[in-house]
A and B are shown apart, each in its own frame.
Chain A
Amino acid sequence: MPTVIQVSAVRKTYGATVAVDEVSFAVNEGEIFGLIGPNGAGKTTTMECIEGLRTPDRGAISVLGLNPFSDVYKLQERIGIQLQEAQLQKRIKVWEAVDLWASLYRKKRIDGERLLEQLGLIDKRNAWFMNLSGGQKQRLFIALALINDPELVFLDELTTGLDPQARRAIWDLVRGIRARGKTVFLTTHLMEEAERLCDRVAIIEHGRIIDIDTPQSLVNRHCPERTVVLATDDGSAAERFRTIPRIDAVTCSDSQFTIRGRGDDLVTDVIQCLSENRIRVTDFRTILPNLEDVFLKLTGHSIRD
């Protein structure tokens, strides 16, 4: 798969603070790539260096084969940007913003009205920016990021401050961008967002990349623990469970068992054990680690701290 973004050993400092330190990664064409980490980890600085809005102190960046500093205007023609906490003029109308943005690019392939329709903003086309809700503003910013039919879209903390319903709607929109063959580079501090949306993620903390992979591979690599919780009255159950391979611990309180082990096969093995021994269960659930747990393991603290 062709590489769309190549970042090599980028470093950026603000005074004595090192915001981004020796960061390297590559983003492939057609994927949703997420840079995840807590606030202040260096996500936005990294992204703005790639967008050509900031100049790194050291290192090399190539975006769509262009240098984001010397070719910034050429690059802007081909990318779409949504900035964290951006604003527009308070009293600009929705259609005026779309119309203005459309006029800024050389190629004009996207119909602004259709874009507003797709993003559910057509009823708001005459509304002032200041009178839009948070979700509507974000959808407008997505519209502005897509108006030039870009090959690569940057989304910085896209759903921060939105309610869960609006968040889900925005996720669907982002998947729609990928479905049209675009590459998406996003940052988020929401692990659920990264897990549901991203094909690959890079975990960043204190300006350094800790690991890069698909969410599932990161979980498998760093948190292989699996837990099954079930309820049964079968007296022989505890003994049987201890014969399951790769088991770490079996604990029991009242009639509820907690089986801890490692590896993807644990759940299958437990089910097989239940079936072979004809153990009747009244409850069965699994507790699987997620990116949140990966982050905790890698950094020693929760992403919200």
Chain B
Amino acid sequence: MMLRGLWKLTWIELKIFLREPLGAFGTIVIPVLVFVVTGRIVGHREPSASLAASNFISVGLPVLASVLITISAVLSLVTIISIYREGGILKRLRATPLRPQTILTAHVVVKLLLTAATLVLMVLVGKRYYPVGIDVPLFGFTLALLISTCSILSMGFLIASIVPTARFAQPIGAVILYPMIGISGLFAPVAALPPALQVVARVVPLTYAVSLLEGIWKGDAWSAHLGDVGALALVFIACTALSAKVFRWQ
């Protein structure tokens, strides 16, 4: 019942996205290129790379790339929702038996599919051209990324629910999401941050996503990261519930 129209809408939204100028290229090809090129530059500049540098190339950079891809997917979702709302597209879709959840789910599925496609490509290309051999628990990492993505997407929805116009959607989303990367523990361990920033890092959902992704990438057991998963689930539930309350259709 609730699923009526979901797959057709998802399929159409996917096709529409790929018709955008730079749609497929900007979402899938560019992140993969940046990932490989950065890896090669950093990897080649220091032949006897320090431990920190090599650690960054083998763990930090792939996780950073994954997080960046996710955030860019979320920002694109925030923008699309704002444009659809401003143009009256959401309202037109709502004047049918289509359930609101179905419309939003279709967009989330499209973003998840694109994120997955990008990551698969990244792994395939990475295996061939990346300086450090990629030998990771792929299934586990995919699952960890899915959990992180759902959590970050729910934050995106909350932003999309509040941001007044399409013009501000992308910049406001970027201002909220990108700084989270800086204190997420990707570049410096959270414990090494100034105490005030540590407090902020503890409440920023991205910290838990990064911790989970790095851990699983390095081969940690899931049992070591139950706290991260719990925190991300909490964020997901809270943001979804809140945006369901404050979301405007027009």
User: B-contacting residues of A (Cβ < 8 Å)?
Assistant: 51, 53, 73, 76-77, 81, 83, 85-92, 96, 99-101, 103-106, 128
**Is the Cβ of B92 less than 8 Å from the Cβ of A103?**
no
User: Chain A contacts of B8 at CB under 8 A?
Assistant: 99-100, 103
**Is the Cβ of B97 less than 8 Å from the Cβ of A87?**
no
Partner of A104, one of B15, B87, B88, B96: B96
Q: Name the prevailing secondary structure of the B interface residues.
A: helix
22 contacts between A and B (CB under 8 A): A53-B94, A73-B97, A76-B96, A76-B97, A77-B97, A81-B95, A83-B88, A85-B88, A86-B91, A87-B87, A87-B88, A87-B89, A88-B89, A89-B16, A92-B12, A96-B15, A99-B8, A100-B12, A103-B4, A103-B5, A104-B96, A104-B98
Give the complex CA separation of A87 and B83 in angstroms: 10
**Is the Cβ of A53 less than 8 Å from the Cβ of B95?**
yes
User: A-contacting residues of B (Cβ < 8 Å)?
Assistant: 4-5, 8-9, 12-13, 15-16, 19-20, 84, 87-89, 91-92, 94-99
B110 → chain A closest CB, angstroms? 12
Q: A73-B97, A81-B95 are in contact. Are A89 and B89 (CB under 8 A)?
A: yes
**Is the Cβ of A105 less than 8 Å from the Cβ of B97?**
yes
B77 → chain A closest CB, angstroms? 14
Residue of A nearest to B86 (CB): A87
B27 → chain A closest CB, angstroms? 15
**Is the Cβ of A51 less than 8 Å from the Cβ of B95?**
yes
User: Chain B contacts of A88 at CB under 8 A?
Assistant: 89, 92
Give the complex CA separation of A145 and B19 in angstroms: 26
Partner of A91, one of B16, B88, B97: B16
Give the complex CA separation of A76 and B5 in angstroms: 14
User: Chain B contacts of A106 at CB under 8 A?
Assistant: 4, 97
Partner of A53, one of B4, B91, B97, B98: B91
B71 → chain A closest CB, angstroms? 24
Partner of B5, one of A53, A87, A104, A128: A104
B185 → chain A closest CB, angstroms? 39
Give the complex CA separation of A86 and B88 in angstroms: 5
User: Chain B contacts of A103 at CB under 8 A?
Assistant: 4-5, 8
B11 → chain A closest CB, angstroms? 9
User: Chain B contacts of A99 at CB under 8 A?
Assistant: 8
Residue of B nearest to A97 (CB): B12
**Is the Cβ of A76 less than 8 Å from the Cβ of B95?**
yes
Give the complex CA separation of A106 and B4 in angstroms: 9
Partner of A83, one of B20, B92, B97: B92
User: Chain A contacts of B91 at CB under 8 A?
Assistant: 53, 83, 86
Give the complex CA separation of A296 and B12 in angstroms: 49
B151 → chain A closest CB, angstroms? 27
Give the complex CA separation of A125 and B19 in angstroms: 17
User: Chain A contacts of B89 at CB under 8 A?
Assistant: 86-89
**Is the Cβ of A86 less than 8 Å from the Cβ of B92?**
yes
Give the complex CA separation of A101 and B9 in angstroms: 9
Give the complex CA separation of A101 and B4 in angstroms: 11
**Is the Cβ of A100 less than 8 Å from the Cβ of B9?**
yes
User: Chain A contacts of B9 at CB under 8 A?
Assistant: 100
B124 → chain A closest CB, angstroms? 29
User: Chain A contacts of B87 at CB under 8 A?
Assistant: 87
Give the complex CA separation of A83 and B95 in angstroms: 9
In this complex, which of B87, B88, B94, B95 has the most chain A Cβ atoms within 10 angstroms of its Cβ?
B95
**Is the Cβ of B12 less than 8 Å from the Cβ of A96?**
yes
Give the complex CA separation of A92 and B87 in angstroms: 14
Give the complex CA separation of A99 and B8 in angstroms: 9
User: Chain A contacts of B95 at CB under 8 A?
Assistant: 51, 53, 76, 81, 83
Give the complex CA separation of A100 and B15 in angstroms: 13
A67 → chain B closest CB, angstroms? 16
**Is the Cβ of B94 less than 8 Å from the Cβ of A91?**
no
B99 → chain A closest CB, angstroms? 8
Given contact pairs A76-B95, A81-B95, a sample of 18 additional A-B residue pairs in the complex whose CB atoms are under 8 Å apart: A53-B95, A73-B97, A77-B97, A83-B88, A83-B91, A85-B88, A86-B89, A87-B88, A87-B89, A89-B12, A89-B16, A96-B12, A96-B15, A100-B9, A103-B4, A104-B4, A105-B97, A106-B97
**Is the Cβ of A101 less than 8 Å from the Cβ of B96?**
yes
Give the complex CA separation of A106 and B15 in angstroms: 25
Residue of A nearest to B102 (CB): A104
Which 5 residue pairs across A and B have the least CB separation, nearest first? A87-B87, A81-B95, A91-B19, A86-B92, A76-B97
Give the complex CA separation of A131 and B138 in angstroms: 44
Q: A87-B89, A87-B92 are in contact. Are A92 and B16 (CB under 8 A)?
A: yes
Residue of A nearest to B4 (CB): A104
B13 → chain A closest CB, angstroms? 8
User: Chain B contacts of A89 at CB under 8 A?
Assistant: 12-13, 16, 84, 89
Give the complex CA separation of A100 and B12 in angstroms: 8
Give the complex CA separation of A85 and B92 in angstroms: 10
User: Chain A contacts of B19 at CB under 8 A?
Assistant: 91, 128
A45 → chain B closest CB, angstroms? 12
In this complex, which of A76, A87, A89, A105 has the most chain B Cβ atoms within 10 angstroms of its Cβ?
A89
